[in-house]
Structure 1
Amino acid sequence: MKSEKIHQNDFIVNSWEELCEEVYRDSWKPHLTRYRSDYAFRGLSDAGYELKNSFLRNCGQRPELEYHLLRNFRKYSISKDAQLTASFWRSLVMAQHHGLPTRLLDWTYSPFIAMHFATANTEKFDLDGVIWKVDFVKVNRLVSEPLNHLLREERCNAFTIEMLEESIMSLSDFDKKLNKEQVIFFEPPSIDQRIVNQYAFFSVMTQPTSIMDEWLVDHPELYRRIIIPKELKWEVRDKLDQANITERVLFPGLDGLATWLKRHYKPATNDLAGE
């Protein structure tokens, strides 16, 4: 579903150089004398798409179904490593990773991986793409107790599974203890090479039917939307391929290889044989 909202923080890039400059804007940390970004990135092939989680897209306004989805996933799943589903947080990550509808949203620390997901679908090359750039450090600092103190104690910017397991035992516990619409960003365990290669982490909101766009619009200081015009998509795609930011790397295995080859050898024009 597409968002009807007009985002005041939209920035349209007009070149590859401008795109690279924009994703790294504000990453310089004078006190460290290093470039260290505080941003989470999410690339979408259509700038009109909402930040709507897969549970809401699949189940609509039926929040009671979330518990049953995860309960049955844990009941029927067979894992070689029991630790991967030992807690509801780990089960939630595993479920998202394997395509079960959940309230999680996928993000990456890498702006180039976000560029990949904004330009991977050639069927959407007639539409502008978008990269959501969200200051996850500031977002996490807004969270209420009992989670806020964990960040201070650990002196870190993103939650880990282990930190969340200390205070939150279930999704209903998460919703009740935070008590209002809130967002956190957390890092998953390294389940497999795909998680590692995509430099992935997740956002999660209280309430499974919450839409992150609506929360961000109320916090304009926390985000920016970088619009990639449709006319620029092929250039971005080709340069990412040359930089080896492809499905072959991000989705290790034959499926990723086949997807990369399919796009790599697709002509950029519509003059395809047999049409």
Structure 2
Amino acid sequence: MSLATAIDQVVLSSWDEFAAASDQLEGWVFRGQADHRWPLVSSLTRHLARYCPDPSLWPLREERAIRVFRRKAHVFLHDAAVLDDDLRCLALMQHHGAPTRLIDFTKSPFVAAFFAMQQLHGDAAVYALNTPALWKAAPRFDPTLNREAIDLRKPDSYQRYFAGNALPLVWFGEPNQMDARLVAQSGILAVPGTLEAPLERLLAGYEASEPLIRKFILPAALREPALRALYRMNITAATLFPGLDGLARSIDYELEMVWEQLIVDYQSRLGKS
């Protein structure tokens, strides 16, 4: 499967169309991006591309970042054992704002749509990853390196298959123990074996009988009906980011909602009573 056919792209014309299309993708996982032109890469790739133009240095930079985090994070943790598990450590870094090679997906297309539409940079995108097919797929360069073989929950897997940044692999899954944010967002993680290539290019190197990824483009005009629908589903920053930080983030949309007429009507009723 070539890169050109590795990703199906669908331009949507309504929020209902997105809901109907995503409902057909049983078992798939989703990722929202605020600009459909952004490549499907990790936050670590974006950061290193900006500040370290020599990709040959990227594995060293990544290794040092993880080492520094492990050396210092124990001060803030009730159970520092999480730092000994490569995937849990990376997930902890990611969800506290550190750039990592993890790419966040969610089992909910609506959570993905929230992240895509909340702060638009033009037309947005929701990527859908065909995890049922990817579960059985393997890279052409070495068919033995299937998902089970490179499972990042195994103690030596990260160092063996990912840390060297040399193998065009993709693993997806969840840590053995998930943090509160991953639970709230129905999160699942995709992990590329090389940082330089976008996820769709890595997936193009996999042998599969059906497309492994699909891209829905959500025009900016859909933002208002999308966020209203998501608000009614109780999908907001307050629910997706448990704690005071999430509640504070949610005030952005409260400021956008048109409550004025409700207030006027309420005050009018008070005046008549």
Q: TM-score range by the shorter chain?
A: 0.7 to 0.9
Superposition deviation, residue 240 in structure 1 = 0.5
Secondary structure, counterpart of 2:88 in structure 1: helix
TM-score, with length taken from structure 2:
0.78
Deviation per residue, 1:185-228 (Å, 9 max, x gap): 01124443221110001011112333213224566711111111
Question: What's the counterpart of residue 117 of structure 2?
Answer: 119
Judged with a 3 Å threshold, the aligned counterparts in structure 2 of structure 1 residues 250 and 8 are, in CA distance, closer, same or farther, namely: closer
Question: What's the counterpart of residue 215 of structure 2?
Answer: 225
Judged with a 3 Å threshold, the aligned counterparts in structure 2 of structure 1 residues 67 and 150 are, in CA distance, closer, same or farther, namely: closer
Judged with a 3 Å threshold, the aligned counterparts in structure 2 of structure 1 residues 47 and 85 are, in CA distance, closer, same or farther, namely: same
TM-score, with length taken from structure 1:
0.77
1:41 aligns with 2:40: no
In 2, Cα distance between equivalents of 1:202 and 1:240? 23
In 2, Cα distance between equivalents of 1:67 and 1:114? 30
1:197 aligns with 2:180: no
In 2, Cα distance between equivalents of 1:207 and 1:192? 25
In 2, Cα distance between equivalents of 1:226 and 1:141? 24
In 2, Cα distance between equivalents of 1:232 and 1:88? 39
Contact (CA 8 Å) 1:247, 1:256: kept in 2 or not?
yes
Question: What's the counterpart of residue 73 of structure 1?
Answer: 69
1:255 equivalent among 236, 245, 257: 245
Judged with a 3 Å threshold, the aligned counterparts in structure 2 of structure 1 residues 16 and 148 are, in CA distance, closer, same or farther, namely: closer
1:159-198 aligned within 5 A: 164-166=153-155, 168=157, 170-171=158-159, 173-175=160-162, 180-198=167-185
Gaps in structure 1 of 5+ consecutive residues:
28-36, 152-158, 269-275
Question: What's the counterpart of residue 98 of structure 1?
Answer: 96
- Write the letter of the residue equivalent to 1:69: A
Superposition deviation, residue 116 in structure 1 = 0.6
Superposition deviation, residue 244 in structure 1 = 0.6
Question: What's the counterpart of residue 268 of structure 2?
Answer: none
1:242 aligns with 2:238: no
Secondary structure, counterpart of 2:188 in structure 1: strand
In 2, Cα distance between equivalents of 1:253 and 1:48? 32
Identity of aligned residues (%): 26
Judged with a 3 Å threshold, the aligned counterparts in structure 2 of structure 1 residues 19 and 146 are, in CA distance, closer, same or farther, namely: closer
Please provide the CA RMSD for this pair: 2.7
Superposition deviation, residue 176 in structure 1 = 8.2
1:201-216 aligned within 5 A: 201-216=188-203
Secondary structure, counterpart of 2:195 in structure 1: coil
In 2, Cα distance between equivalents of 1:50 and 1:216? 14
In 1, Cα distance between equivalents of 2:102 and 2:8? 23
Secondary structure, counterpart of 2:154 in structure 1: helix
Gaps in structure 2 of 5+ consecutive residues:
50-54, 259-273
Could you say which structure has the larger radius of gyration? 2
- Write the letter of the residue equivalent to 1:84: V
Contact (CA 8 Å) 2:170, 2:193: kept in 1 or not?
yes
Judged with a 3 Å threshold, the aligned counterparts in structure 2 of structure 1 residues 149 and 45 are, in CA distance, closer, same or farther, namely: closer
Judged with a 3 Å threshold, the aligned counterparts in structure 2 of structure 1 residues 149 and 116 are, in CA distance, closer, same or farther, namely: closer
